[in-house]
Structure 1
Amino acid sequence: MKIVTVTGYKGGCGKSVTAIHLATFFSALGDVVLVDGDPNRTSIAWGERGQLPFIVADERKAMKIVQGRDFIVIDTPARPDSSDLKELAEGADLLILPTLPDVVSLEPMLQTASDLGNASYKALLTIVPPKPSREGETMRDDLKANGIPVFDTMIRRTAGFQKAALAGIPIRELTGRDRLGWLDYESLGKEILEVLGHE
């Protein structure tokens, strides 16, 4: 069983969207439960509007159904304090920290990294503006320059995610340009499998 936890130091950084789409990616490889620990219950509400290819469980009921699964994806509350962060990292095979590609997000990310120390975590740039903007690349370079492990894959900003949320399905199920965001999560999923050493 591999446990991937998605957490962020602020709301609106694509945390629940990332949890849902990683669970979708893993669902092609095995049995997946997404544990929704976010007080907003975004993942549960998303699944109730339509259909997701995995089980979504409220964190208070999750213990009964996580046993024997291949992958557990945990969507946590935003703004964990430093002791919560350490516990989240210790309880996961990989901690993913979605962050926006703006200068305002750099400082909290550096603080989070310092709180985490040697834990197994990686930053993920989300809601990245399309080219010709270079905000995503610039932020990724800044994070790397500060010694923060960061995924090469960046998640683009696209209206497809809102459409998928309204329909209660993963963006993978959309067509045409609306589906482009899925390519980013496929690429991210492959990077995560390498980190986890999963065959």
Structure 2
Amino acid sequence: MKILTITGYKGGCGKSVTAIHVATYLSALGDVVLVDSDPNRTSLSWANRGQLPFTVVDERKAMKVVQGRDFIVIDTPARPDSSDLKELAEGCDLLILPTLPDIVSLEPMLQTAHDLGEANYRALLTIVPPKPSREGEAMREELRSNGVPVFSTMIRRTAGFQKAALAGFPIRDLTGRDRMGWLDYDSLGSEILEAIGR
């Protein structure tokens, strides 16, 4: 069993979208449960509107359903403090930290990295503006130059995610240009497997 935890130091950084799409990617490789412990219950709401290729439960029911699963993805509340962060990191195989590619997000991300120390984690740049903007690349290089492990893959901003959420499906199940965001999560999935030794 591999446990992946997705957390962020603020809301609106694509945390639940990432949890859903990481779970979607992993569902092609085994039995997945997504534990929604975010008070907003975004993942549960998404699942209730349509159909996702994995089980979604809130944390109160998690103990009943996690046994025997291949992968557990945990969508946490936003804004964990430093002691919560350490506990989250120790309780999983990989901690994923979605972050926006803006200067306001840089300092909190650097503080988070400092708090985590040697834990197995990666920053993930999300809601990245399309080219010709270079905000994503600039933020990724800034994080790397400060010693923060960061995924090479960046998740671009696209209206497809809102359409997928409304339909209750992963973006993978949309068509045409609306599906473009899946290419990013598919690429991210390969990096995650490498990070957890699969």
TM-score with structure 2 length normalisation?
1.00
2:175 corresponds to: 175
Cα deviation, residue 136, structure 1? 0.1
Corresponding residue of 1:47: 47
Letter of the 1:51 counterpart:
Q
Displacement of 1:187 in angstroms is: 0.2
1:156 is matched with which residue? 156
**CA RMSD, aligned part only?**
0.3
Structure 1 residue matching 2:69: 3-state secondary structure: coil
Q: Residue 96 of structure 1: SS of its match in structure 2?
A: strand
Partners of 1:107 and 1:54 lie apart in 2 by 35
Q: Shift in Å at residue 153 of structure 1?
A: 0.1
**Equivalent position amino acid for 1:99 in 2:** T
Give, in whole Å, the separation in 2 of the partners of 1:120 and 1:60. Answer: 26
**How many Å separate the matches in 2 of 1:196 and 1:90?**
14
Q: Which residue of 2 aligns with 1:93?
A: 93
Stretches (4+) displaced over 2 A: none
CA distance in 2, matches of 1:95, 1:77: 14
Structure 1 residues 66-91: Cα deviation after superposition (integer angstroms, max 9, x where no partner): 01100000000000000000000000
Q: Counting strand residues as a fraction of each chain, which structure ranks higher?
A: 1
Identity %: 83
Q: Distance in 1 between matches of 2:179 and 2:195?
A: 26
In 2, Cα distance between equivalents of 1:63 and 1:6: 18
Give per-residue Cα distances to partners, 1:132-176, cap 9 Å, x unaligned: 000000000000000000000000000000000000000000000
**CA shift at 1:64, angstroms?**
0.8
Q: Secondary structure at the match of 1:105?
A: helix
TM-aligned CA deviation for residue 189 of structure 1: 0.4
Q: Residue 106 of structure 2 corresponds to which residue in structure 1?
A: 106
Residue of structure 2 equivalent to 1:191: 191
Distance 1:194 1:83 in 2: 27
Partner of 2:61: 61
| Cα deviation code 1:79-127 (max 9, x no counterpart) | 0000000000000000000000000000000000011011000000000
Consecutive unaligned residues of structure 2, counting only runs of 5 or more, are none
Alignment correspondent of 2:73? 73
The amino acid that maps onto 1:78 is: A
Shift of the alpha carbon at 1:55? 0.1
SS in 2 for 1:24: helix
- Deviations along 1:16-44, whole A, 9 cap, x unmatched? 00000000000000000000000000000
Matched AA of 1:130: P
Indicate the residue corresponding to 1:6 in structure 2. 6
Q: How many residues align structurally?
A: 198
* CA distance in 1 between partners of 2:112 and 2:195 (Å): 20
**Match of 1:144, as an amino acid?**
R
Aligned residue number for residue 33 of structure 1: 33
- C-alpha distance in 2 between matches for 1:23 and 1:192: 11
TM-score, normalised to structure 1, is 0.99
Letter in 1 for 2:171: I
